Structure 1
Amino acid sequence: MQQGLLHLHNILRWFVLIFALWTIFKSLADMNSGKAFTGANKRPALFLMISCDIQLLLGLILYFTGAWGIKNIQNQGMAAVMKDHASRFWAVEHITGMIIAIVLVHIGYSSTKKNIEDKAKFRKLFWFTVIALLIILFTIPWPFRQDIGRAMFPGM
């Protein structure tokens, strides 16, 4: 079961990245075109937010039930975890970065509901999503990252 959740978590990251890029490009294009902000403009951000929330749920399950999260801290102690690069990444950096990014995605989406001018909605959505995407890209365990790298796709 743990392996299946990890594979699902790995696959869903691609949906998060695709929806983030879609949100960024759509909000940038619409911001520069002077279009009115409509419900259709929210759709990419809504899909991004939903995919991030699913990822968070899966990630929290893995964090609290898997070997690299809470169990690692309980077994080794926080001092030992912080000294080891891989343990620190999984127990602290990955979860912290992703939670911050997901909060930014939620702030960006909620800014589209405010009673502000349309260009400001596009601008806020764009910048919150760009910053969230940068944090996500930095905290994903890409295959080229020493000690923490994971395959691009499960089973590879």
Structure 2
Amino acid sequence: MDTGLQHLHSYMTYLVLLGVLISFGAALAGWLGNKTFTDKDRKMGLLGLIPVHLQWVIGVILYFVSPLGMKNFSGEAMGDSVSRLYILEHPLTMIIAVVLITIGYSRAKRQIGTDNRGFKSIAIFYGIGLFLILLRIPWNAWPGN
């Protein structure tokens, strides 16, 4: 079961990156273009939010069923950089990214019809979240490597 979840989690990353990039790009264009944040723009933010949350749920399940996750947790594993990545660094960084993206979307949806603050919120929070996601993807285990 964990092998199938690992594959799903790995390949879903493409969808996450695409969704967050599209949302971030649209928000950045709206913010720099000084446009008014509309309901259509809020829905564009969902392109990044929904895949990130789905990926997080799959990741939490995987963390508890995979031999690389919680089952591998020990003081000895903290000395190994690969084990530490899977046990602590990757999950913690991704949780922070998911929280930031969620905060950005939540703040933006309250700004519909006002000015460009919704774009600013999505651009900043999704941008930081995207940076954190790219920072802690285990590139050595990326599909195709």
Instruction: Pick the TM interval, shorter chain.
Output: over 0.9
Residue 103 of structure 1 is aligned with which of 84, 94, 99? 99
Matches within 5 A, 1:125-144: 125-142=122-139
Q: Are 1:151 and 2:142 matched, yes or no?
A: yes
Unaligned segments of structure 1, at least 5 residues:
143-148
Q: CA deviation at 1:115?
A: 4.5
Alignment partner, residue 13 of structure 2:
13
Q: How does 1:2-151 map to 2 (within 5 A)?
A: 2-73=2-73, 77=74, 79-115=75-111, 117-142=114-139, 149-151=140-142
Unaligned ranges ≥5, structure 2: none
Q: Give the distance between the partners of 1:80 and 1:44, measured in 2 at CA.
A: 44
Structure 2 CA distance for aligned equivalents of residues 68 and 108 of structure 1: 31
Aligned residues, how many?
144
Q: Distance in 1 between matches of 2:111 and 2:40?
A: 17
Tell me how far apart the structure 2 counterparts of residues 44 and 115 of structure 1 sit (CA, whole Å). Answer: 14
Superposed CA RMSD in Å reads 1.5
Residues 122-154 of structure 1: per-residue CA shift (max 9 Å, x gap): 111101011000000011011xxxxxx11335x
Q: Identify the residue that residue 146 of structure 1 maps to in structure 2.
A: none
Task: Encode CA deviations 1:100-130: one digit per residue, 9 max, x unaligned.
Answer: 0000010010011224842221111101011
TM-score, reference length from structure 2: 0.93
Q: Deviations over 1:7-61 (max 9, x none)?
A: 1111110111011110111011111222221111012321211111110111011
Q: Does the 8 Å CA contact 2:37/2:111 hold for their aligned counterparts?
A: no
